[in-house]
Amino acid sequence: MRSYQSVIDRFCQDFGDHEIEQVTPDGVLSFLNSFTNGNKPYTKRVRYSHLSAFFNFFRNNIDPGIGNPCDTPMIRKLYRERVVSRWEIIEKETVDEIIFRTVKVRNRLILELMARGGMRIGEVLKLRLNDIQDRKLILREPKSGKEHEIVFIPQKVADRLRDYATKKCKSPQDRIFPISYEAARMMVLKAGKLVGIHFLPHDLRRHSATYASRSGVPIEIVSKLILRHANLSTTQRYLGTISDVEAIRWIENLYG
């Protein structure tokens, strides 16, 4: 009851002087847009479902002839439940082969920063010489809106990145990888073709999360330190589905 209360109270404030059959889909849409302004998509969907349930309750228990103004194709499309995507996760052996077969130092470093550090391709391309602090990388103006974020990378990758950056950058403010997003994307596609797979930049970020999780890293660490997500539900969508072969392997490792 408490979860419905705020929606119904606000609805009654706006439509209290209307007969219920006078409420139109346009009126409902205007109400929902106003009431959910600034809310996250999940909250918007919940409030829509509460209002729709109110009209269904009225129709099912009081007047079967009353239509549900929430039940229109346009409103359902705007407030429908988001389909959760599941991605096919590329196995570690395949990722390692792609990286090891990439000869150009610049390209290999870009791949490793995504695969070993969980970085987005845009974050990699924005790195500057003064962002390197041993095994930590400082991300300026990250996607989260924070002032900065920190990425942790393995020592071997950090050493090679520093060597490469000091040779290529003339000043601390110089970008380490001064190429466009499209050029980086094409490089990743070509790297995938070396091993016969269709390969996109974000696949490496997903791989880093899934590999860490299946290696026993707590999901809170995967979420907060590797992917730098605000909540665990976002991280869980990154983790790949488990195939029958992999499930059998895990069971054998545990109990075989």
Instruction: Kindly give the confidence (pLDDT) of every residue in the chain, 256 residues in length, as a single tens digit, with 9 standing for 90 and above.
Output: 777 888 889 999 999 888 888 899 999 999 999 988 888 888 888 889 999 988 998 888 888 888 899 988 888 888 876 655 556 778 889 999 999 999 999 999 999 999 999 999 999 999 999 999 999 999 998 877 788 999 999 999 999 999 999 999 999 999 999 999 999 999 999 999 989 998 889 899 988 988 888 888 888 888 888 888 877 777 777 676 666 666 676 677 767 6
The pLDDT value recorded for residue 225 is 86
Does residue 65 share a domain with residue 98? Answer: no
Does residue 144 share a domain with residue 42? Answer: no
The pLDDT value recorded for residue 193 is 92
Residue 6: inside a domain: yes
The pLDDT value recorded for residue 243 is 63
User: At residue 17, what are phi and psi to the nearest 5 degrees?
Assistant: -95, 10
Domain-terminating residue out of 21, 52, 79: 79
Q: Which of 15, 29, 23 is nearest to 75 (CA)?
A: 29
User: At residue 133, what are phi and psi to the nearest 5 degrees?
Assistant: -130, 85
* Residue 161 burial class via C-beta count within 10 angstroms: exposed 0-12, middle 13-18, buried 19 and up: buried
Domain of 153, CATH number, reads 1.10.443.10
| Residue range 4-28, pLDDT digits in tens | 888 889 999 999 888 888 899 999 9
Does residue 65 share a domain with residue 152? Answer: no
- Start-to-end CA distance of the chain, whole Å, equals 50
Domain-terminating residue out of 29, 53, 79: 79
Does residue 143 share a domain with residue 246? Answer: yes
Residue 63: inside a domain: yes
Does residue 14 share a domain with residue 109? Answer: no
User: Taking the model in full, what pTM does it have?
Assistant: 0.63
Domain that holds residue 224: 92-255
Does residue 208 share a domain with residue 142? Answer: yes
The pLDDT value recorded for residue 87 is 61
Residue 156: inside a domain: yes
The pLDDT value recorded for residue 255 is 74
Residue 133 CB: number of other CB atoms within 10 A?
11
Domain-terminating residue out of 79, 103, 119: 79
Q: How far is Cα 49 from Cα 182, in angstroms, rounded to an integer? A: 41
Does residue 104 share a domain with residue 32? Answer: no
Residue 86: inside a domain: no
Q: How far is Cα 25 from Cα 74, in angstroms, rounded to an integer? A: 9
The pLDDT value recorded for residue 86 is 56
Q: At how many degrees (to 10) do helices 25-35 and 2-15 cross?
A: 120
Q: How far is Cα 174 from Cα 198, in angstroms, rounded to an integer? A: 32
The pLDDT value recorded for residue 41 is 84
Does residue 247 share a domain with residue 182? Answer: yes
Domain count of the chain? 2
Residue 54: inside a domain: yes
CA 99 to chain centre: 24
Residue 203 CB: number of other CB atoms within 10 A?
22
